[in-house]
Amino acid sequence: MRRVVNGGWAQLRHALLLLPLLASGAAAEPDNYVEIARGKALATAGDCITCHTANGGAPFAGGLALQTPFGAIMTPNITPDNVTGIGSWSADDFARAMHEGRRPGGSYLYPAFPYPYYSKVTRADLDAIYAYLRTLAPVTNAVNRSTLPFPFSIRQSMLGWNRLFFTPGVFVPDPKRSDEYNRGAYLVEGLGHCGACHTPFNSFGAAKTDHYLEGNQIDNWTAPNITNDMHAGLGKWSVDDIAHYLKTGQTATTLASGPMKDVIENSTSKMPDADLRAIAVYLKERGAAGSSPPAPLSASDPRMQAGEAIFADTCSACHTSNGGGVEHIFPKLAGNAIATQDDPASLIRIVIAGGRAAATNERPTGPAMPSLGFRLNDAQVAAVVTYVRNSFGNAASPVTADTVKALRGRVTGAAD
């Protein structure tokens, strides 16, 4: 079980000065149904449950090990249990954790908890989330919160990190943009913390802000470029495509799998359509044109020929011989941005380990790609992946057997 969490925490200069003013009188009454329901929707948009639930554990009771480049961090219990959860926290305590990454006693949280994003959430929204969390049944679940090795075990070290990479501050709408765009920006940059996966990070685990949303590798999955880049990003997707994808886990020609499957199942499929549309509008206005694609590999290349044979014998019964796929069930490979990302990780790991697509109320099937790692050796996986990346109009760098071997070791836990 592994999950790599990056930072995404921006530069900090005057953290204390920029602390947001605490909105007064915003705390929800515990029996304020409207506020609680709003908080629940916001918690869904933030996908809190996914990280704060252990495998097979009670929802929100924490205990999930997040793998960071610095070691494993166990997620805390955020149910209102007084001893092991956050039952003793006030609304102010909660807001401080979300906005500043500080616990009630002042100690620092690690940015595996994406407070650099949550810093942008309004206090009113945080109070609503707080109100919702207060309604959960308290669960007694003590979590070891000190699992990082030295020197990262020293929480005080986050002070320096915050100074370098964290810019607190509530989201400020751009008055020149539409309300819809601003709503999308608020969700993506704030609660949605999309950049936590989709933005590459530096060696300190902080986001490279100049490559915002341009893609990253997370947990041996490609978190693709989700800017409007024509080649690698969402350039060919319409606003409706993106909104539909977030709602149902698929467009007619592509299916969400891997970490995005969980995001969709636990979060975006349950969000209001207007919010999904706002996210899409925002994403469609991000990013400049990236590099143009390379020329495809020649069909006479031996890797392409082996790949074509493997594809014909193993893949075409679902994805069809021309890479067209089948709508709503088998992804189209022709023109598929995942297939042609610079980073081939998702493609390789799906061939080796298989993958389950998102299942949603509208599209419950959640078709799964079978694991073929037992059938194809490293060279064969490399060949078929190279073939997919350079056929049906696709063009991308070839993949080597060594790359496959390394990824196989990581996704199966055993080098082949």
- CA–CA gap between residue 52 and residue 70 (Å, rounded): 19
E runs forming strands in 47-87: 65-68, 71-74
Residues in 310-339 at the binding interface with another protein, rule: CB under 8 A? 310, 312-314, 316-318, 321, 326-330
Give 174 or 362: the residue with its C-beta nearer to another protein. 362
Site map (CB under 8 A) of another protein, residues 150-189, x = contact: ----------------------------------------
Q: How far is the CB of 180 from another protein (least distance, A)?
A: 29
**Which of residues 55, 146, 203, 291 is near another protein by CB under 8 A?**
55
302 interacts with another protein by CB under 8 A:
yes
46 interacts with another protein by CB under 8 A:
no
404 interacts with another protein by CB under 8 A:
no
The two three-digit tokens of residue 1, written as one number: 């079980």
DSSP class of residue 62?
A: B
Exposure string (b/e) for 142-175, b if CB count within 10 Å is 16 or more?
A: ebebeebeeebeebeebeebbeebbbbebbeeee
Q: How far is the CB of 356 from another protein (least distance, A)?
A: 4
148 interacts with another protein by CB under 8 A:
no
Q: Where does this chain touch another protein (CB under 8 A) — which range of 24-32, 90-98, 135-143, 352-360?
A: 352-360
Closest alpha carbon to 40 in 85, 63, 32: 32
- On whether the CB atoms of residues 358 and 250 are closer than 8 A, the answer is yes
Give 190 or 355: the residue with its C-beta nearer to another protein. 355
- CA–CA gap between residue 68 and residue 109 (Å, rounded): 14
Q: Where does this chain touch another protein (CB under 8 A) — which range of 77-85, 148-156, 185-193, 256-264?
A: 256-264
In the numeric block, the tokens 């055993």 are attached to 414
Question: Is the dihedral angle over the CA atoms 68, 212, 193, 410 positive or is it negative?
Answer: negative
Q: How far is the CB of 34 from another protein (least distance, A)?
A: 24
In the numeric block, the tokens 């799906």 are attached to 350
Amino acid in position 344: P
Strand 216-218 and strand 221-223: pairing?
Answer: antiparallel
Angle 272-273-275 (CA atoms, 0-180°, nearest 5)?
70
356 interacts with another protein by CB under 8 A:
yes
* DSSP structure string for 339-380: HHSS--HHHHHHHHH-EEB---SSSTT--EEPP-TTTS-HHH
**Backbone torsion region of residue 182, taken as left when φ is above 0, otherwise alpha when ψ lies between -120 and 50, otherwise beta:** alpha
207 interacts with another protein by CB under 8 A:
no
374 interacts with another protein by CB under 8 A:
yes
398 interacts with another protein by CB under 8 A:
no
Q: How far is the CB of 262 from another protein (least distance, A)?
A: 4
- On whether the CB atoms of residues 352 and 236 are closer than 8 A, the answer is no
209 interacts with another protein by CB under 8 A:
no
**Which of residues 235, 259, 293, 324 is near another protein by CB under 8 A?**
259
Residue partners of 373: CB distance under 8 A and separation at least 6: 351, 352, 353, 381, 408, 411, 412, 416
Q: How far is the CB of 327 from another protein (least distance, A)?
A: 6
Give 209 or 314: the residue with its C-beta nearer to another protein. 314
300 interacts with another protein by CB under 8 A:
no
412 interacts with another protein by CB under 8 A:
yes
**Which of residues 380, 390, 391, 394 is near another protein by CB under 8 A?**
380
**Which of residues 56, 105, 149, 175 is near another protein by CB under 8 A?**
56
- On whether the CB atoms of residues 352 and 371 are closer than 8 A, the answer is yes
Q: Please name every residue paired with 326 in a beta bridge, in sequence order, or none if there are none.
A: 330
**Which of residues 135, 147, 209, 365 is near another protein by CB under 8 A?**
365
Q: How far is the CB of 14 from another protein (least distance, A)?
A: 36
**Which of residues 160, 375, 393, 415 is near another protein by CB under 8 A?**
375
258 interacts with another protein by CB under 8 A:
yes
Binding residues (CB under 8 A) for another protein: these are 1-3, 50, 53, 55-56, 64-67, 219-220, 258-259, 261-262, 265, 302, 305-306, 309-310, 312-314, 316-318, 321, 326-330, 349, 352-356, 359, 361-380, 383, 401, 410-414
